[in-house]
Every structure is written in structure tokens, then in C-alpha cells.
Chain A
Amino acid sequence: MATVREKGYSHWDGKLAERRYPWWPITRTGIRLAFRKKAFKFVFAGAFLPSFVALVGLYISERLEDFKAIVRSNETLINVSPKYFKTIFTSDGLLFLIILVLSFAAAGLISDDLKHNSLQLYFSRPLSKRDYLLGKMSVVFFFVLILTAVPGLVLFIFKMIFAGSFKFFLEYPWLPLSILGYSALLTIFFAFYVLLLSASTKNTRYATILVFATYIFSNVLFGILMGIFRKPAMALFSISANLQQAGAFLYGQKLPFAFPAVWSFAVLAGICVLSAVVLSRRTRSVEVIK
């Protein structure tokens, strides 16, 4: 017979567990909250467009005979190689779509907590600063990986399915690693980048504008400096140019700018370090009076 409980407050008879991944509820909730925004769903769906176009390209490349009427030039029109993957995943369009998705889904991750004083609620739980930040970063990881690593690997698999052989895999066995490596780079960089800007303000709208504006301003600055100095190293001022340079290196392709890829890695790492410092200072459970 079931126990009849007293109406009102009753003690919980379960046992609080020490979680292996205490940050996981933060990540799951962050992802769910993003999908509650109507506009985000459209943006997120639209962000798969480059991958879908690439998939169509893959299909056409394997079925050229069927598309002779449309594709009149020679068979090398769509030559699927690591360069094909690099072109898709380092394109300005995809990078911009990632920024767009993150501005909806992640710009408010920390700024909202700062605005509504909820950090003290998080830290009154058995949660460290590292758990909190990892939980928030994992929201960015989820969205960036789903737009880069997942389509990249799916395209790779579909290439073999459309070809009906493992020839492509045997020719480029390192390509999946390149896809994963570049996706990891994007994921880590964007996680630090977005959270840095999110932690810089208590206003989510400002954070969204900052995410966009910083990205675009860096490109504009690159354009202006390039126009003045005519030196490829000016690309170091551009976020997208650095990501493209690093991407080309990871895909084993010719670098788009005439300077070592390690410089771009250093710039991206520098932004991550700056972000880590700012995040550590901004995510305090109490305001410290100096």
C-alpha cells in the first residue's frame, strides 16, 4: 500500500549523487533554451545549407553521366578531394552562419547569468567554476560540431556510398582526422570567443552585437590594412582569415596567405587565453569590493 504523504513539504528520501559530469545539466539546458527561440530554429536549419549543397555536389560528381545535360564541361568540374572539403568548411559563408547560430544560441549564456545574478545560485551547488564554464562551453561545442564535424563525416561517408567503393577512403585515409581536427579548432575557438564576449556585458543584446561586430570588424580591419600595407600578414587581424589559414593547414592544402600557419594558430590561441582570463575574473559567485 502506498504511503499517504503529508500535504506540503516532505523530506526527500533519495540520495544526492556525486555526478561524473556535473556540468551536463548546464549544457542540456543551454541547448534546450536555444531551441525555445522560434527564429533560432530557422537560422539553425539554414546553417545546414552549405553542407546540403556540398552533398548535392558529391552526388553530381558520382553521377556525371546522369547530369551531362546540366554539366556541359569536363568531368573534373566537381572533383571531390580534400580541397573540396576544405573549400566547404572554411568558406566565409559557413563561418558566418556559425556566427549567426552562436549569436542566437550562445551570446546570452553568461551575460544572462550576470544580468539576473544567477551565478550565486550555480555556485551554491556542488559546482566548480570549471564545471560551470565547461557546461556553458559545451553548448557552443554542440552547435559548432553539429555544423562542422557531423556534416563533414557524413559527406565523407556519402562520398563512399555514392561511389560504391572504399577508393576515396584508401586515397585519403587521413581526411576524417582533418575534418575532426578542423572542427575541434573551430569549436574551441568559437567557444572561447563567444563566451568572452558574453561575459563582457550584462546585456544579451549587446553581447549578440559584439559577437557579430567583432567578427565583421576584424575582416574590415584586415581589408583596410591590406589596402594600405599590401602585406599578407595583415590577415592576422581577421578572425575568418586566421581560421581559413589554419583550416587549409589542417586539410593539407595550399595556404591562402603567404605566412606560416603557425602564426594564425598563435593568434587564435592568444584570443582563447585572453578569454580564459576574462572568464575566470567575470564568473565569480560574489562581487568582490576592492
Chain B
Amino acid sequence: MSIEVKGLSFRYGKIVALDGVSMKLGEGAVGLLGPNGAGKSTLIRILLGFLVPERGEGKVLDYDIRRDQAMIRRSVGYMPESDCFVAGMDAVTFTTYFGELSGMPRQEAMKRAHEVLFYVGLGEARYRLLDTYSAGMKQRLKLAQALVHDPKILFLDEPTSNLDPNGRTEILELIRDISTNKSIQVLLSSHILADIESICGSVVILNKGRLAAEGRMADLRAIKYSLFELRLKGDGEAFRKDLESLGCRVDEMEDRLIKVYMPEKSDRMDIFRAAARTGVQLRYFVKSQTSLEDLFAGVVGVD
């Protein structure tokens, strides 16, 4: 296991940010999901050693998060959410600088800075002053500085925030390439579910500082729900109440498509029986795969 935490708790004054979080994360890309204030950034900051947990223990790459912070930071790349750079520098100087601070020899850091800047698509702009960079370029630059020392794990905090659709797609492509082809583990914190869904094989969902769900995306989808999409003719309200009495969640979409989330042990025939009981006609019936959005809504309890 590359990241393992047990009973991790942290509070900012009276506000509980993390409450007994335990989890084990393996290889590949892992999504860290949760609504605002769920504790995602706090968890990353604890793993990096920025914050000392009140209770609990944890290891990153077998290094203790309380004792071996320097070793963790040497092996980990961090891309923060907010814009951050050093004024008056160009991209090569900036990336070299942080390579050196990670412990690389100066010449090696410089060589490597050129490589990673080309890799993230800043090759042509690498001698431009950072003050003149656009939001998208700054995102790429943050990724470059996180990669310069060839980390074993990348912590990415909202890597696609403030990006236009093209920029977002390109950054996601890079992250996908890093996690799948370059054998670097990625912990991707984001509130954009589609980003996590497109990149991560497994997901950790935090809610109010607690672990709400954890595991491989496919397993979580399979375990939690069976999702059916239908169209009706007849009294939809009675049909809905009938299904809800069976423990299903029924959502009506704008185009009158009805989504039925059935508990895993229920039988799909219950839907037909309910239709028969309430006198509605089923005009369309498809078993659908649950999206991460569905999973998130089900686990966190928000739409």
C-alpha cells in the first residue's frame, strides 16, 4: 500500500475537519471526492506533513507521516489548488529552483526542468516571465514543478479548476498519461466528478470529515445500486410512491426520463409489479450503469 491512514482526526479550533478517517490506497489513480468542507485538502495537507493530526497514524510509501515528513516530501509531488509562483522568474528558473529544493543537483534540475516543461506543453514559453502566464499555463507550470524531481506519488488538488474546456481536457490527458504510462501514483482531489470518473480507477469519498465510501469505482457502482432508466405513460406519482415504499430512489429528469436506483438485493421485476399495481405503462426500460455522480449523490446524500 502506498498510502495508509488509521483513525486520522484533525480539527481547526472547534471545527472538525477529519474524524477518524481510515483507508488504504494502492497503485494507480485515486480520486478524492467530497463536498466543500469534507476534509479533502486537510487530508492532503496531513499526508504532506503541513498539519499534524490530533489522533491517528498514517504512512505514505512506508514513511510515517509524523516522523518522516522530509522523506515523504522528497518522494511526493504536490500541485496545490491555488495559483502559486515566484515573481520575477521564468518557467525554467522556477522549475529548476524547486527541483533543487527537492534535493536534485543544479545541473540535473535544469536539464530535467526543460524536459518536464516540454512534457506539460510549456516548451515554447519556458523563458517567458511567469507574471505574464495565463491561468492554463500556470496550471501546467504547477504540474511541471510537481513532476520535476520524478516523484513516486502526485498529490493533485483541483488540477482543472479555472481552466477552459480545452485546457481541462489537455491537463486531464497529461494526468492520465502520468498515472497509466509513467507508473506514478496519482491522488486527485476534485469536485468535478467527470474528471475523477475519466481518470481514476478507485475513489475515496469524504463527507463531513468522515469516510463515506472507498474502493474501486466499478465495485462501488456495483455494490451500491442498480440503476434503471424508464419512461412511463400514466400516473407517475402513484408509481413513484410505490417504488419508494420498496426502498428505491426515484429521480425524474427534465426530459421525463425516470431514474430508479434499486437497492442491490431488490429484484428488477418489482418495477414491473409496481407498474401493474399502479396502472402505468412502461414504454422504455433500460438497465443503466451508475455514474460517479449517482454514486456521489447516493453516498453523500446530495443531488
CA distance A42 to B140 in the complex (A): 36
> Can you list 22 pairs linking A and B with CB atoms under 8 Å apart?
A9-B182, A12-B108, A14-B105, A17-B104, A18-B70, A22-B101, A25-B101, A112-B86, A113-B86, A116-B86, A120-B78, A123-B48, A124-B73, A124-B77, A125-B98, A125-B101, A125-B102, A126-B101, A126-B102, A286-B51, A289-B13, A290-B12
Kindly identify which residue among A17, A33, A120 contacts B50, using a CB–CB cutoff of 8 Å: A120
Q: How far is the CA of A204 from the CA of B87 in the complex (A)?
A: 11
Known: A121-B98, A124-B78, A127-B101. A11 touches B87 (CB 8 A): no
Across-interface contacts of B100 in A (CB, < 8 A): 25
Q: Could you say which residues of chain A place their CB within 8 Å of the CB of B103?
A: 16-19, 22, 126
Q: Which residues of A contact B104 (CB under 8 A)?
A: 12, 14, 16-17
Main secondary structure of the interface of A (DSSP, over half): loop
Measured CB to CB, the closest approach of chain B to A14, in angstroms, equals: 5
Per-residue 0/1 for A27-38: is the Cβ within 8 Å of any B Cβ (1 yes, 0 no)? 001000100100
Cα distance, A112 to B74, chains bound together (Å): 25
Q: Quick one: given A126-B102, A127-B101, A290-B12, are A116 and B119 in contact (CB under 8 Å)? A: no
Interface presence of B150 (CB below 8 A) = yes
Please name all residues of chain B whose beta carbon is closer than 8 Å to the beta carbon of A17 when the two chains form the complex: 103-105
Q: Are the CB atoms of B112 and A124 closer together than 8 Å? A: no
Would you give the shortest CB distance from A102 to chain B, in whole angstroms?
Answer: 17
B88 close to A (CB within 8 Å): yes
Q: Contact: B82 with A117, CB < 8 Å?
A: yes
- Which residues of chain B come closer than 8 Å to A58, judged between CB atoms? none
CB <8 Å contact, A122 and B101: yes
Q: Which of B15, B104, B112, B177 has the most CB of A within 10 A?
A: B104
Q: 18 more A-B contacts (CB under 8 A) besides A116-B83, A124-B78? A: A9-B119, A17-B103, A17-B104, A19-B103, A26-B101, A29-B86, A121-B78, A121-B145, A125-B98, A125-B102, A126-B73, A126-B102, A126-B103, A127-B101, A285-B50, A288-B12, A289-B12, A289-B15
Give the nearest-CB partner of B103 in chain A. Answer: A16
Q: Is A108 an interface residue (CB 8 A)?
A: yes
Measured between beta carbons, the chain B residues less than 8 angstroms from A108 are 87
Residues of B within 8 A of A11 (CB): 150, 182
Contacts of B115 in A (CB 8 A): 9-10
Known contacts A17-B103, A289-B15; decide if A124 and B89 are in contact (CB<8 Å).
no
Partner of A116, one of B12, B71, B87, B106: B87
CB of B43 to closest CB in A, whole Å: 12
Interface residues in B44-103 (C-beta closer than 8 Å to A)? 45, 48, 50-51, 69-71, 73-74, 76-78, 80, 82-89, 93, 97-98, 100-103
Q: How far is the CA of A36 from the CA of B86 in the complex (A)?
A: 14
A115 at the interface (CB under 8 A from B): yes
Taking a contact as CB atoms under 8 Å apart, the answer to whether B119 and A112 are in contact is no
Q: Is B260 an interface residue (CB 8 A)?
A: no
Q: Smallest distance from the beta carbon of B188 to chain A beta carbons, Å?
A: 16
Which residue numbers of B lie inside 8 Å of A, CB to CB?
Answer: 12-13, 15, 45, 48, 50-51, 69-71, 73-74, 76-78, 80, 82-89, 93, 97-98, 100-106, 108, 112, 115-116, 118-119, 145, 147, 149-150, 177-178, 182
List B contacts of A121 (CB < 8 A): 78, 80, 84, 98, 145
Q: What per-residue 1/0 map shows which CB atoms of A197-219 lie under 8 Å from chain B? A: 00000001000000000000000
Contact of A33 with B89 in the complex, beta carbons under 8 Å: yes
Interface core residue of A8, A11, A12, A18 (most chain B CB under 10 Å):
A12
Measured CB to CB, the nearest residue on chain B to A22 is: B101
A9 touches B84 (CB 8 A): no
Tell me whether A117 and B87 are in contact (CB under 8 A). Answer: no
Contact B150 A126 (CB under 8 A): no
Identify which of residues 32-76 in chain A touch chain B, using a CB-to-CB cut-off of 8 Å.
33, 36
Q: Which residue in chain B gives the minimum CB-CB distance to A13?
A: B150
For the complex formed, measure the closest distance between the CB of B184 and the CB atoms of chain A, giving whole angstroms.
9
Q: A289 vs B50: C-alpha distance in the bound complex, in angstroms? A: 14
Pair A9/B73 contact, Cβ less than 8 Å: no
How far is B112's CA from A115's CA once the two chains are assembled, in angstroms? Answer: 27
Q: CB distance A25 to B97 under 8 Å? A: yes
Closest to B89 in A: A33
Q: In chain A between 100 and 131, which residues have their CB closer than 8 angstroms to a CB of chain B?
A: 108, 112-113, 115-118, 120-127
